[in-house]
Structure 1
Amino acid sequence: MLATPGPLPPAEVEDQWAFEVKQDGQRAMVYLPGDGTILLRARSGTDITAAYPELLPLADALGARSAVLDGEIVTLDDQGRSDFERLQQRMGLASAPAKAARMAGRVPAHLMLFDVVHLDGRLLTGLPYAERRELLTSLGLAGPAWSTPAAITGHGAEAWKMAREAGLEGLIAKRLISRYEPGARSKSWVKIKVHRLADVVIGGWVPGRGRLTALPGAVLVGERHDGLLHYAGSVGTGWSEAERICLAELLQAAAIGTCPFAQVPPVAGARWVLPRLVGEVRYTSRTRAGRLRHPSWHRLRPDLAPGGPA
């Protein structure tokens, strides 16, 4: 079951919703047949069990009881927040169990459990979320590499403020009466992302495809540090058709033949511009290299200077 992007539920109905922290990791269905074995499957259905050897002891956590659980595999930073960039070092190792075992010691994974869809031979998808959540909590699944994070009923605005101030990715709001809909992107689950804003300088662009070849498909943006323009990422969403056309005219007028970034970005077909246009973008987090994750265009900032000459 997948969540639909959206806003916080209105305050007058928030007591009909539960709020969970949105984890930034790899979704996994966990199959525990009760015979001392465990199977982890990714959203694609791929068997990823061998990629995460630290989760194998979960096979014995319920004894002879059988269950199918839903959760997110994450790696945590030094403040206990999920860190997808770190997790990428662990993904894709299902066919290399020896390397997965070595990486487990260096970059340990943790399974955050948030739903139970099958228990003791009984299919639970028809039960409301609140009942499934109560059953999941009653299992007491807390171990060295797995846990069952709390869900808060109501108090959405407070939960949102906490997530934002803690630097978390956002919240998942789940309607208390909702059934589990396998394979569906349901409006009964709503993902509310925390978006941060950054002022960036445009240093280049990449043409769009098809009828948009004369217009920017994405702009290449940077931030100034120590007098140099450092590449911060590619932004290709968030603008209207009118904004794209206006931006194209400004970019054409600012065209230059050399890259203005301190290091040339690894972007094929890039066209460079004088770094004089400042824009405001939304993003969710940053990589260790300072790149913006999930950036989207917000607006031009003609009121801001680009930070001096290139």
Structure 2
Amino acid sequence: MVTLPSIAPMLASPGGLPLPGGDDRWAVETKQDGQRVLAYLPGDGTALFRSRSGENITSGYPELQALGEVFRGTSAVLDGEIVALDERGRADFGRLASRMGLVRSPAAVISRAARRAPVHLVLFDVLFLGDDSLLAEPYTERREALESLGLAGERWSVPGVVVGNSEQALEATRAAELEGIVCKRLTSRYEPGVRSRSWIKIRNLVTTDAIIGGWMPGKGRLTGLPGALLLGQRHEGRLRYIGNVGTGWSERERAELSALLRVAATTDCPFTPVPPVTGAHWVLPRLVSEVTYATRTRAGYLRHPSWHRLRPDLAPEDIA
């Protein structure tokens, strides 16, 4: 057996359509909403899984250990994503979150968590196979090698891919309420640790209106200004906290918001229940914002929210 090299995962850059050079130069995969992982399979029946940061997370996912037996007698390093599926077969990050961080927990705790929220390993690249590094090979060669491995099991699979048709693929993921797509240049080599323009991730974004109920102060050059806004929506007559947004503003917008927030300052939290945030400044729930986000967690919090604009034309009573 060979000694497997430690490899940092290649990262995709955010982008949009149309794709540079035209659709026929790109492969399109569904964007997975899970935990990025590199699987190290030395060929002796064992498997080691490392997160994007390089942390050994093997013990946290005992149901994936059997992948090592699939590679008994040969060596491989595979790139993929650990996901937890909901009742409709879609990746549910909230469900996966209950498994993440259990690496140092007792085996009995991990076992119970695995029964409650079993995971699936989506494998989308092969970086090392047998005695050979495939890092310098083009995407098409690596994909062919990956498909030749026959990785179709109860706990792991290889995702489908299409060449071209990126707009239709993005629309299909939107209709299925999936996070989006990742487009990979057919000629691209694997660039360890690089956020490359050869991989482009495109998220399906949802726009929603939300009531501003507070803010968190910024740091450094933003001292005294809002670093993030605390958002809510009405639910059963109460303002329910749905998360915070801290990106997407211009400096002018930040300054204008700061002035409006200070006028609306109050000592009472407008959210029910009070959100678990420290150092919040509460405001009267009078300002309505428009934000975009990717998905919601099972608890209803916005994931990847971004500020769009203030909505002075809407009253808080209009926001559900």
* CA 1:245–1:61: 2 relative to 1, 3 Å: same
Unaligned segments of structure 2, at least 5 residues? 1-9
SS state of the match for residue 71, structure 1?
strand
Aligned counterparts of 2:222 and 2:44: Cα–Cα separation in 1: 57
Q: 1:164 aligns with which of 153, 174, 189?
A: 174
SS state of the match for residue 307, structure 1?
helix
State the one-letter code of the partner of 1:260. P
RMSD of the TM alignment (CA)? 1.6
2:160 alignment counterpart: 150
Does the aligned pair in 1 maintain the 2:38–2:51 contact within 8 Å? yes
Aligned counterparts of 2:123 and 2:318: Cα–Cα separation in 1: 49
Q: 2:89 aligns with which of 76, 80, 84?
A: 80
Show the 5 A alignment for 1:274-289: 274-289=284-299
State the one-letter code of the partner of 1:189. W
| 1:57 aligned onto 2:66 | yes
2:113 alignment counterpart: 103
SS state of the match for residue 258, structure 1?
coil
2:270 alignment counterpart: 260
Show the 5 A alignment for 1:224-239: 224-239=234-249
1:19 alignment counterpart: 28
Does the aligned pair in 2 maintain the 1:235–1:296 contact within 8 Å? yes
1:45 alignment counterpart: 54
Does the aligned pair in 2 maintain the 1:62–1:139 contact within 8 Å? no
Deviations 1:123-156 (A, max 9, x none): 1111100110011011110111000011111000
Does the aligned pair in 2 maintain the 1:254–1:273 contact within 8 Å? yes
In the TM superposition, residue 308 of structure 1 has moved relative to its aligned partner by 6.7
1:125 alignment counterpart: 135
- State the TM-score, normalized to the length of structure 1: 0.95
Does the aligned pair in 2 maintain the 1:257–1:272 contact within 8 Å? yes
Does the aligned pair in 1 maintain the 2:215–2:226 contact within 8 Å? yes
Does the aligned pair in 2 maintain the 1:276–1:305 contact within 8 Å? yes
SS state of the match for residue 307, structure 2?
strand
SS state of the match for residue 81, structure 1?
coil
Aligned counterparts of 2:294 and 2:93: Cα–Cα separation in 1: 12
State the one-letter code of the partner of 2:26. W
Moved more, 55-64 or 104-113: 55-64
Does the aligned pair in 2 maintain the 1:223–1:231 contact within 8 Å? yes
Does the aligned pair in 1 maintain the 2:33–2:91 contact within 8 Å? yes
State the one-letter code of the partner of 1:166. A
Deviations 1:268-301 (A, max 9, x none): 2222222111110111111222111121111011
* CA 1:183–1:169: 2 relative to 1, 3 Å: same
Aligned counterparts of 2:164 and 2:20: Cα–Cα separation in 1: 8
2:211 alignment counterpart: 201
Aligned counterparts of 2:150 and 2:71: Cα–Cα separation in 1: 9
In the TM superposition, residue 262 of structure 1 has moved relative to its aligned partner by 2.0
Q: Percent identity?
A: 60
Aligned counterparts of 1:68 and 1:213: Cα–Cα separation in 2: 45
Does the aligned pair in 1 maintain the 2:45–2:71 contact within 8 Å? no
SS state of the match for residue 230, structure 1?
strand
SS state of the match for residue 66, structure 2?
helix
Q: 2:227 aligns with which of 191, 203, 217?
A: 217
Does the aligned pair in 2 maintain the 1:75–1:110 contact within 8 Å? yes
How many residues matched?
A: 309
State the one-letter code of the partner of 2:301. R
SS state of the match for residue 78, structure 1?
coil
SS state of the match for residue 276, structure 1?
coil
Moved more, 42-51 or 166-175: 42-51
Aligned counterparts of 1:301 and 1:25: Cα–Cα separation in 2: 33
* CA 1:229–1:127: 2 relative to 1, 3 Å: same
Deviations 1:69-119 (A, max 9, x none): 111111111111111111111122223333222222221011000000111
- State the TM-score, normalized to the length of structure 2: 0.92
State the one-letter code of the partner of 2:177. G
Unaligned segments of structure 1, at least 5 residues? none
| 1:141 aligned onto 2:141 | no
1:290 alignment counterpart: 300
State the one-letter code of the partner of 2:63. E
Moved more, 299-308 or 146-155: 299-308
Q: 1:173 aligns with which of 158, 183, 195?
A: 183
Aligned counterparts of 1:99 and 1:271: Cα–Cα separation in 2: 38
Aligned counterparts of 1:133 and 1:268: Cα–Cα separation in 2: 47
Aligned counterparts of 2:236 and 2:13: Cα–Cα separation in 1: 41
2:7 alignment counterpart: none
